[in-house]
């Protein structure tokens, strides 16, 4: 039985450590009874934090959320290098850190900002000829991944532990950035080697971890809808706030549902924003479609239509 309000919605979840993103999605399916569920970006099993889950028709919005910038909190351990670039991997190198220049190390990490070409970890979900890179590595293949352009907006050291050789940091970055690669490359620059030991996603686009619920809290909501006071359950129209919005009448709605262009006379109100895409809704704020619209020439190209 589907839970009223959970379908065709965006659910913000706080992923726990030690569970895969796939396992979390399976739990949401079990709790809500909704089979059509997607998400906008995985987290490694050892990582925690924000996952944006989309249900029903809202799964068609995940591509938009994948483009969003992200913010993370992480911890790097100097002196230990692993094949996965994180603490879960096989150790390939260990070096003593008795003479680490911590001030120089902090300055080195702060230099990881701006646009750059980053090589993803070999143990990743990136596909080579249809097969995951990590699967190819585990089957004994030797692979080389091409670098990709990414952007790190800010990276700040938030703490150090000289006795355990840890550096804590916050980072704000573009889509496609691997924080594990930052740890790997930082270790190479310092000469000690390094790996990522903790990672927490704290925001993704307009979404923040403070809005999210745990999977246990989601279960509680199923049993008592008023037990959690967090804005974790959102309508699609609430989360596409940087999209333009066109409200149309019933005549226009019928045309849109059938994939036909509507006329200016069908428009009740129009608000254009910076994004090329516009939400098309009815007068009751139900999302009908997302489209690219040339206002001057009145050209309409539907990206997706909801029915």
Active site residues: 44
Helix, strand or coil, per DSSP, at residue 242: coil
Closest residue by Cα to residue 41 from 67, 23, 18, 14: 67
CA angle 90–92–97, rounded 5-degree value = 115
Q: In this structure, is the dihedral angle defined by the CA atoms of residues 237, 242, 248 and 253, taken in order, positive or negative?
A: negative
Closest residue by Cα to residue 102 from 157, 148, 151: 157
How many CB atoms neighbour CB 223 within 10 A?
Answer: 8
Q: Which pair of structure tokens corresponds to residue 89?
A: 């991997």
Taking the C-alpha atoms of residue 145 and residue 258, their distance in angstroms, rounded to an integer, is: 44
E strand spans, the chain: 10-15, 37-39, 48-55, 70-78, 80-82, 91-94, 114-118, 127-128, 131-132, 148-161, 166-173, 194-204, 207-208, 233-234, 244-248, 267-271, 277-281, 287-294, 299-305
Closest residue by Cα to residue 106 from 172, 163, 184, 168: 168
Closest residue by Cα to residue 13 from 204, 148, 184: 204
Q: Which pair of structure tokens corresponds to residue 131?
A: 């097969």
E strand spans, 42-126: 48-55, 70-78, 80-82, 91-94, 114-118
Tokens 């796939």 -> residue? 22
Q: Which 8-state DSSP code applies to residue 21? A: H
């Amino acid at each position: 039985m589907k839970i009223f309000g959970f379908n065709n919605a965006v659910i913000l979840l706080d992923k726990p450590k030690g569970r895969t993103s796939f396992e979390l999605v399976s739990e949401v399916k079990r709790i809500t009874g909704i089979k059509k569920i997607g998400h906008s970006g995985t987290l490694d099993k050892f990582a925690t934090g924000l996952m944006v889950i989309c249900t029903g028709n809202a799964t068609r919005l995940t591509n938009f959320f994948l483009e969003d910038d992200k913010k993370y909190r992480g911890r790097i351990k100097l002196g230990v290098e692993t094949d996965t670039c994180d603490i879960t991997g096989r150790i390939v190198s260990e070096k003593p850190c008795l003479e680490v220049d911590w001030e120089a190390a902090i300055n080195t990490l702060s230099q990881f900002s701006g646009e750059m070409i980053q090589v993803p970890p070999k143990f990743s979900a990136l596909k080579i000829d249809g097969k995951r890179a990590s699967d190819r590595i585990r089957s004994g293949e030797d692979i080389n991944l091409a670098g990709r352009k990414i952007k790190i907006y800010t990276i700040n050291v938030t703490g150090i532990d000289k006795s355990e050789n840890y550096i804590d940091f916050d980072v704000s970055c573009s889509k496609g950035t691997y924080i594990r690669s930052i740890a790997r490359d930082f270790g190479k620059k310092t000469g000690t080697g390094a790996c990522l030991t903790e990672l927490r996603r704290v925001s993704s686009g307009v979404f923040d971890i403070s809005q999210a619920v745990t999977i246990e809290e989601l279960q509680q909501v199923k049993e008592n809808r008023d037990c959690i006071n967090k804005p974790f359950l959102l309508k699609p129209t609430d989360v596409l706030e940087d999209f333009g919005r066109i409200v149309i009448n019933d005549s226009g709605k019928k045309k849109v549902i059938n994939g036909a262009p509507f006329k200016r006379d069908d428009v009740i109100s129009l608000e254009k924003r910076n994004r090329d895409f516009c939400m098309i809704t009815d007068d009751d704020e139900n999302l009908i479609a997302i489209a690219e619209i040339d206002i001057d020439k009145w050209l309409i190209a539907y990206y997706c239509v909801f029915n």
